[in-house]
Each structure stands twice: as structure tokens, then as C-alpha cells.
Amino acid sequence: MSAPFELTTILTLCLLVLALGIFATTMTPRMQILLRLQHEDFRFRDLGERTKRLLKFGFGQKRLVDPEEFTPGLAHVLIFAAFMVLALRTVTLFGMAFGGWDFHLPLLGANSPIGQAYLILKEIVVAGALLGASYFLYLRLVVKPDRMTRSGEAVFILGMIMGLMITEIMFEGAHIYMFDGGQGHWFSPLGNVMSGIYGALGASTETAWFIGRAAWWAHIVQILVFLNFLPLGKHFHVITGLPDVFFQRLDPQYRPAKMDLENSETFGIQKADELTWKMALDPYSCTECGRCQTHCPTYVTGKPLTHKGLNKTIRLHLMEQAEVLAAGPEAREQLPDLVPNIVNPETIWACTTCGWCETACPVFIENIPRIIDMRRHEVLVKSEFPPEVTRVFKGLETQGNPWNLGATSRGDWAEGMNVPTVQDNPEFEYLWFVGCAGSYDDRQKKVTQSLAKVLNAAGVNYAILGNEETCNGDSARRIGNEYLFQMLAEQNIETFKTYNVKKIFSQCPHCFNILKNEYPALGGEYEVMHHSQLIAELLKDKRIVPTEKFDELVTYHDACYLGRHNQEYKAPRKTLEAIPGLKIVEMARSERQSFCCGAGGGRMWMEEHVGTRINQNRAKEAIDTGAKTVAANCPFCITMLKDGISELNVEGVVVKDISELLADSIKLPVIAGDAVEKKSESEQSA
């Protein structure tokens, strides 16, 4: 080994030791934070399914190539692919410092078919990364889309990526020029072009090789600088993104953890040490891409919440408190309360829990759990929450409904409707969980009555609890009152046991979601359907056949808790499609991208004091379709859209539940009050 090469080896070794030492020093406190935070053992279960999802969403980048943002997604895929493929090339380049300029990994030499295949792939991904990085520079410096944070860090990283690709090409070209006499290889097209440039410039082999070695040094120094820069900002996701995908929640819907109210010493999240390790890994992994903002109702309407911003806030706080967190419980008093010291109270109360952010995030960051847990502490410990919620809590606690109306009037809507109670029909197949809105809200009672007519026409064997039903507790839980939720849920579960309930359906997506997905943790396991799913089955089995034409254009609004949270998009549309003459026109934001009405997460009961109104934003979108009827299947959505249309002073556009549209389209049997009316008409005719 020559003296210059010995110097190369020594310098490379020193750089490696220095860079890896700095990297370890930076990473240690970040990893210690994860180890100190609350454990979540379920994240280590179902390893086979997690591996599949890692391959699909992590290495396969499935979410990034969403049709809505295909071009930036593709650009990211090109850069990601380059880093994956060039990992072996990086090892090769560092190996050259110790094994000579002809060093290569086993089977990856230029003389083997596998090596040649790898080298041509390497050239392709290098070109792809240059294209991807150039596109992102154009996007950031020229287009400047709203969802992207103005970031010098991002421009620096893109410059580094391009620098790595360019120095790779310069070194490859010099290597060909020096050792192969400038003769090109089919598997090194970029290197051939660079070698040709050296020749065209009349460079001697020594000059070209000097430039090539300089490029080699620049390349490995950039790699080491890049490695140590990653943990300092949003590009930490390059290190933590794949683990975050692997440890994602496997269920599509968020199921709040059941709190042990009797034995817990703390409730919800007060300080950073009460975050789970996944709640820390999430902000570590936030790319700040802004996809969570595109259809976020709070961001679009100017509320003080962006999940990207919240991730950044939590990440910075964790870094600032790394030493305190690492010290353990004895240093806990040094930590400030997250709310209001780090996170503005208005931020946690703005969220509608619509779930858009979680379905859009390419690394599966879970935003809703930490917001709900911060609300829990505010409600259960500090008794601090929006003032209008006080009435809701009182009504739920004393009357079993958020309107604080008499519990004994819950079943009044069914009077004269031939609707059986569990006492009337103890052998029922389905329990109809009507819900608070369906029982008390005047507009929603009409939906309930239409649904009853459809069920009776189809001969469904069902029963209602009547006055024995109480609120399912969804709003209480989303607002943060876990104690009240468990009280209501346990009351319902005991009632269900009394009547041996096995199957339940509800016209409210919030009732449906919580009964199906959250009651099991309290011992209540049932087969639960939303009324749109039940109706779709009745139509399929031809137990009801729509015959009356509805020659109108209808647009359908996807409810968040039926759609994004439970992946049900087809059943409501099948019902509408079954109505003769009805034509569906989709809103610009529909199905997974549907825009929230603004009522979820307990926001139904809170005022909007900041920005524009969410329901008006969605109502305007519905109006813009030209449809005169907006179809929905959620009591909250119907209320919010109806109010939004009214607030916009638009006439001639109505909001109806799908069951109302269906009831108008089928020949219904004569029942109760209808019979009296028809008899009167007959007598007058005689």
C-alpha cells in the first residue's frame, strides 16, 4: 500500500470514528426518551402483519403515490429508492479506503452479471434522485405550495442529495477514465457520459483521477455530515420513519385506551413523561410534508391547530427536556405541564377527530390519541374545558342525553309508529340503538320515523329499548370525560345483558363506531351495523324494492366516523343508486378525502370562535355540485349541513338521510296514524 493510500485510510478511519461518535452522542438522549416513556406492548404483536405493512407502506411508499398528490409522491419515491439502492454503493465507496480503488462487495463486481445488474440499477436511481430533488427544489422555491413549510433546512438537504448524486457520477466517470482507458460500459451510462466529458475537456488521466478522488472525498464527507444532520430537524424521519410505519396501529379506527379509574394515580397526559413512546416516535418521524393539512377542517378554516405544527412543538419540547426525562420520575417536577405551557388549550379543543390527518400521513403518525389524552387531563383533573360543555356533561349525567331533556321521553318519537320495544318483542334479532339525536332532536326524529317505516316494510325483526336506552358516551369520551363515558357505557352494557342482545344497528355513525369498536374493551361484544349497511343488505335481498322515481341530482356527504374511521363508503351509495331516477354527483372531496362537517370529537356541542365555520365550508361545497338534495347518514352531519346551508342564505337545497329518500321511494304499508288519515280520506270520498 502506497503512502498516499495509507493516508486515505487513516483519514477515512478518523472521519468515521468522529462522525459516528457525534451521531451516537446525538442519538443517545433521543433513544433514552423513548425508553423512559410509557410502554405499549401491543405494538410488538402481530409481527407478520406489521412486516407486510412495512413492506407495503414503508419500502413500497404506498401512501405517497396517492392520486391527489402523485407527482410529489413519485419524486419522493425516486429519492427514497436511490437511498435504498445506494446503501450498498456507500459501503463500497468507504471500503475503497481500506481495500483499494478496485474494491467491491462480493458478487457486486463489474465482471459478474449480478454486479452489472446492480450497477445499471444504481445509475437509474441516481438519475431518478436528481430528477426528484430538482422537482422538490422547484416546488419549494418557485411554486411554494401552502402545505409546505418554508424551510432552509429542506433546501439544504435537497442540495446535499443532489451533491451526493453528482459526486457519485464524477467519481464513476473518473474511475472509467483512469482504469478502463475511457472505454464505456453498458451498465454505467452516467459514468460513460462523465468519462466522455473528461475526454472532451482534454484532461489527462492524472487530472481526471484527481477530480474523481476529490469527488470521492466530497461524497463520503457529505454522507457523514448528512448522517449527523438528520437527527437535528424534520429529516430525523429518514432514521425513524420506517420504525414508525412498523409500529403503526393495525386497526383503521382509533380506540381510546380504557382508563383504570379506580387505581390510576394520573388521568390523561399532563407532562411529557406521560406520553407513550409511540407518541414521541411520531413527532420524531414527522416529515412536515403538510399532507395532514390538505383536508383538515381546523387548518382549512383557520383554527389554531395544525398537526404538523403540533408534532414540531412536541418534538422540540422532548429535545429540550431530554435530560430531565432521562433522569426518571424523581425529576418529574421539573417538567412543565404540556397544556397550557407548551400546547395552547385552543389547539387541543379545535380538533374534530375526523381522522383525515391519520389517513393522509405517509408514516402513520397518530394525532388523535394524544389530543384525547390531553383533554382527559384537562377535564378529569383540572376541570377546564369550553364552558358550553358544562350543560352537555350535566345532561349526560342526569338525563342520559346531551340536550338535558327528560329521560322518560326518550321513546316518545315512536308513539303510533308500530315500533316494538324489547318488552313487546323479546325474541328480536336486532336491537335498534336509536341514539340521543334520533330520540330527541326534532329534525332527526323524522329520520328515525322514516327508518322505522323502511324496517317495517322489510319485515325486520327488531326492537328498541325505549326509555331504558341511554347515551352511548361518545361525546363524553371524545371531550375527555372518561369517567362519564364508562358510567354510560356500563349502564348500556348491563341493559344489553338483561335482554340478551347479540346484534345492534344504529342510524348514527358515532353510536355505531363506539358500540362496535370501543364497548368490547368494557365487556360488551356485539355484531354492530350502521343503518346504511343494514339497508344495503335489505335491498340486496329484495326485501324492499324502491319503485317511486326520484328525478333529482343528489350529492352524498361521507360521515367521518362511518367512512374514514370504519372504511364504509359503498353501502350508502348502493342505497342511493337503488332509487329509480336518482343521480349522484360527488363533491370535490369525497370518500377518504371527504371534508368533516365540524361536529365530531365533541365539537357538536362547542362554539366556533376562531376562523370560518367548518359546516359552511362543507355546505358550500355541496351547493356547488348543483344538487338540490344533500344525502347524509349521520345526525350530526345532517344538523351541521342544514345549518350551514341556512347560514349561507341558500334556498331550495335540503339535507336528507338516505333512509328518508328510500322511504319516499318504496310503497310502505299503512300503519297507525297513516291508517286513520287514509280512512278519513275514504269517508270524504264516499
pLDDT for 667 equals 76
What digits encode the pLDDT tens for the residues 243-261?
Answer: 999 999 998 777 888 888 8
Q: pLDDT tier at 668 (50, 70, 90 boundaries)?
A: low
Burial of 634 (0-12, 13-18, 19+ CB in 10 A): buried
What's this model's pTM, rounded to 2 decimal places? 0.90
Secondary structure E strands in 252-291: none
Q: Cβ distance 580 to 550 under 8 Å? A: yes
Question: Which of 232, 264, 284 is the last residue in one of the domains?
Answer: 232
Q: Is residue 675 part of a domain?
A: no
Q: pLDDT tier at 669 (50, 70, 90 boundaries)?
A: low
pLDDT for 682 equals 39
Could you give the CA distance from residue 165 to residue 402 in angstroms, rounded to a whole number? 61
Q: Is residue 251 part of a domain?
A: no
- 280, 315: one domain: yes
Q: pLDDT tier at 678 (50, 70, 90 boundaries)?
A: very low
What digits encode the pLDDT tens for the residues 621-663?
Answer: 999 999 999 999 999 999 999 999 999 999 999 999 999 999 9
Mean pLDDT of the chain: 93
Rounded percentage of the chain residues whose pLDDT exceeds 90: 87
Tell me which residue range forms the domain holding 22.
3-232
- The continuous run of DSSP H or E covering 278 comes out as helix 277-285
Is 520's pLDDT higher than 90? yes
Q: Is residue 256 part of a domain?
A: no
Question: Which of 208, 232, 256 is the last residue in one of the domains?
Answer: 232
Map grid coordinates 413492506 to a residue: 55
Could you give the CA distance from residue 267 to residue 74 in angstroms, rounded to a whole number? 43
Q: Is residue 135 part of a domain?
A: yes
What digits encode the pLDDT tens for the residues 357-399?
Answer: 999 999 999 999 999 999 999 999 999 999 999 999 999 999 9
Q: In Å, how far are 85, 194, 198, 478, 676 from 181, measured between CA atoms?
A: 27, 13, 12, 71, 103
- 228, 312: one domain: no
pLDDT for 251 equals 83
What digits encode the pLDDT tens for the residues 408-433?
Answer: 999 999 998 999 999 999 999 999 99
pLDDT for 515 equals 97
Residue at 398: amino acid letter: T
Strands 553-556 and 629-632: parallel
- 531, 643: one domain: yes
Could you give the CA distance from residue 656 to residue 604 in angstroms, rounded to a whole number? 19
- 228, 280: one domain: no
What string of DSSP letters covers 611-654? SS-HHHHHHHHHHHTT-SEEEE--HHHHHHHHHHHHHTT--S-E
Is 5's pLDDT higher than 80? no
Q: Dihedrals φ, ψ of 610, to 5°?
A: -125, 140
Q: Dihedrals φ, ψ of 430, to 5°?
A: -115, 135
- 173, 311: one domain: no
* Rg, Å, the chain Cα set: 31
Could you give the CA distance from residue 632 to residue 437 in angstroms, rounded to a whole number? 14
Q: Is residue 498 part of a domain?
A: yes
- Alpha helices, DSSP H, located in 519-585: 531-540, 570-577
- 315, 398: one domain: no
Q: Is residue 411 part of a domain?
A: yes
Which one, of 226, 249, 255, 248, lies nearest residue 239 by Cα?
226
Question: Which of 352, 380, 408 is the last residue in one of the domains?
Answer: 380
The grid cell for 553 is: 341530482
pLDDT for 1 equals 44
- 430, 499: one domain: yes
- 227, 116: one domain: yes
How many degrees, rounded to 5, is the angle at CA 669 between CA 663 and CA 670? 110
Domain CATH for 102: 1.20.950
Domain CATH for 278: 1.10.1060
Is 490's pLDDT higher than 50? yes
Which one, of 241, 276, 235, 233, lies nearest residue 361 by Cα?
241
The grid cell for 88 is: 450498498
Q: pLDDT tier at 192 (50, 70, 90 boundaries)?
A: very high
Q: In Å, how far are 404, 433, 479 from 605, measured between CA atoms?
A: 12, 21, 10
- 207, 339: one domain: no
The grid cell for 645 is: 346551508
Q: Cβ distance 416 to 672 under 8 Å? A: yes
What digits encode the pLDDT tens for the residues 324-367?
Answer: 998 888 899 999 999 999 999 999 999 999 999 999 999 999 99
* Torsion, Cα of 397, 401, 404, 406 (10° steps): -100
pLDDT for 180 equals 83
Q: What's the rounded mean pLDDT across residues 287-298?
A: 93
- Provide the CB-side half-sphere exposure for 185 (13 A, CA): 22
Q: Collapsing DSSP states into helix, strand and coil, what is residue 555?
A: strand
- In DSSP terms, 584 is beta-bridged to 554
Q: Cβ distance 611 to 302 under 8 Å? A: yes
Q: Collapsing DSSP states into helix, strand and coil, what is residue 462?
A: strand
Q: pLDDT tier at 672 (50, 70, 90 boundaries)?
A: very low
* CB environment 106-145: b (16+ within 10 A), e (fewer): eebbbeeeebbebbeebbbbbbbbbebbebbbebbeeeee
Q: What's the rounded mean pLDDT across residues 110-116?
A: 93
Q: In Å, how far are 392, 473, 476 from 389, measured between CA atoms?
A: 5, 14, 9
Q: Collapsing DSSP states into helix, strand and coil, what is residue 40?
A: coil
- 10, 157: one domain: yes
- Provide the CB-side half-sphere exposure for 377 (13 A, CA): 20
Q: Is residue 672 part of a domain?
A: no
Which one, of 575, 413, 600, 599, lies nearest residue 514 by Cα?
600
DSSP 276: B
Is 673's pLDDT higher than 70? no
Which one, of 239, 246, 236, lies nearest residue 57 by Cα?
246
Contact partners, residue 82, CB within 8 Å, separation at least 6: 125, 126, 128, 129, 132, 161, 165
Q: Is residue 263 part of a domain?
A: no
- 486, 530: one domain: yes
Number of structural domains (the chain) is: 3
- 111, 201: one domain: yes
pLDDT for 163 equals 97
